[in-house]
Amino acid sequence: MRHCSHRMTAIACLMTACLCIFSCKTAKEEKKGSLSITDTEYSIRQTHENSYVLDACGKVKNVGDVDVKKVVITAYCKSCGEAMISENWFISDCEKTEEQKDTVSYLAIGGEEEFSFKEVAFYFGPADFQPDKFPEKIEVVIESYDAVEDI
């Protein structure tokens, strides 16, 4: 019986020591990147006799406290419909293609890089008519990125 009591005391002391060791360990602060779209331009490009697409380009800046990599940028037209209606901007309901997004491979703290991608929105109309204005609500977004870990 006395032998069991010594064993229980030893286990309790060991568990207390482990608790103290692991709870006192300072947690490494996880740094997060912060990115900003600093400049955006749109252009209308004719693809066929009566169809056009909206392309985008601009700059992305790393305003965070850590370098980032694999920055994926794309755009969404919030005012475009999903139905293909003549003389109206519309979007595809499919997943974004490689042409509809751009990837910046590495962006250091304070760094700025250009991006460009095609086919944000689509338009078709009569053969002699070109759209003269862009859709109203276009949003360029940073889809994803990875923070570069310190070695």
Confidence at residue 15, expressed as pLDDT on a 0 to 100 scale: 59
The pLDDT of residue 25 is 47
Beta strand segments in the chain, E: 35-48, 51-62, 68-77, 101-107, 112-124, 138-147
Domain borders along the chain are: 35-147
Percent residues over pLDDT 90 in the chain: 54
Quote the pLDDT of residue 27. 45
Taking CA atoms, 70 is separated from 28, 60, 111, 113, 136, in Å, by: 23, 12, 14, 12, 29
pLDDT value at residue 32: 75
CB environment 17-43: b (16+ within 10 A), e (fewer): eeeeeeeeeeeeeeeebbbebeeeebe
pLDDT in tens, 15-69: 565 555 555 544 455 667 799 999 999 999 999 888 999 999 999 999 999 999 9
The whole model's pTM is what? 0.73
